[in-house]
Structure 1
Amino acid sequence: MNWLVVVAGGAIGAPLRYLTDRFVQSRHASVLPWGTFAVNVAGCLLLGALTGAAALGPDLRLFLGMGLCGALTTYSTFSYETLRLTETGAAPQAAANVLGSIAAGLTAAFAGFALGHAVWP
């Protein structure tokens, strides 16, 4: 039955990812993929919080972590968009996308862990 919990989380995470990406991207004229950046950093924050929250049960962890975060975040789109930036001659923006995404994602994961640990020890 665990797979149903993951499917339910994914059914929320996938459209949330699409809608968030479109919403964020429509507000920026930049070539940088801000929508993908936003969903990935948000997913890192949430997964970090889940990791730090010892009091959460296994079903909620599966639903939010594997399901919602798994469908919300996207390494493949991040990689594709970075590749497209380099192909179109935007190598500095591609480098900024990689470095910014890694730095922001790790910072969000650590901050989420601290928050989860503080709120749900």
Structure 2
Amino acid sequence: MNWLVVVAGGMIGAPLRYLTDRAVQFRHDSVFPWGTFVVNIVGCLVLGTLTGAAAGPDLRLFLGTGFCGALTTYSTFGYETLRLTETGAGLYAVANVMGSVVAGLGAAFAGVAIGQAVWP
């Protein structure tokens, strides 16, 4: 039965990832992959919040595994960073890697603090 909870979360996260990526990227005339950057940071914040709130197993499966698993994308991050490098946008590639790591960890830590503060 747990797999149905994961599927339900993924059914929301996957289209939200696509729509968010397209909406964000449409608003930025840049080779930098802002859409992927945004969904990955939001996923880190949500997962951090779940962790800080000590959410129950069903909510962790639904939001953590299903929703965040479908919303975030390490493979696209890797591919887009590779493409930036291949097209001569090496500084953007470095900014993508460094920014994603720093902002992602920052969002995860902030999420834990939010989760602990709101749901002690």
Q: TM-score, normalised by structure 2?
A: 0.99
Structure 2 unaligned spans of 5+: none
- Deviations, residues 2-25 of structure 1 (Å, cap 9, x unaligned): 000000000000000000000000
What is the percentage of aligned positions where both structures have the same residue? 79
Taking the aligned partners of 2:13 and 2:3, their CA distance within structure 1 comes to: 15
Q: CA deviation at 1:68?
A: 0.1
Which residue identity lines up with residue 117 of structure 1 in the other structure? Q
Q: TM-score, normalised by structure 1?
A: 0.98
Give the aligned partner of residue 16 of structure 2. Answer: 16
Taking the aligned partners of 1:77 and 1:103, their CA distance within structure 2 comes to: 18
Taking the aligned partners of 2:13 and 2:50, their CA distance within structure 1 comes to: 15
Give the aligned partner of residue 79 of structure 1. Answer: 78
SS in 2 for 1:26: helix
Give the aligned partner of residue 88 of structure 2. Answer: 89
Taking the aligned partners of 2:64 and 2:30, their CA distance within structure 1 comes to: 31
Structure 1 unaligned spans of 5+: none
Give the aligned partner of residue 118 of structure 2. Answer: 119
Q: CA deviation at 1:115?
A: 0.2
- Deviations, residues 62-84 of structure 1 (Å, cap 9, x unaligned): 10000000000000000000000
Q: CA deviation at 1:57?
A: 1.9
Aligned-pair RMSD on alpha carbons?
0.5
SS in 2 for 1:80: helix
Q: CA deviation at 1:60?
A: 1.0
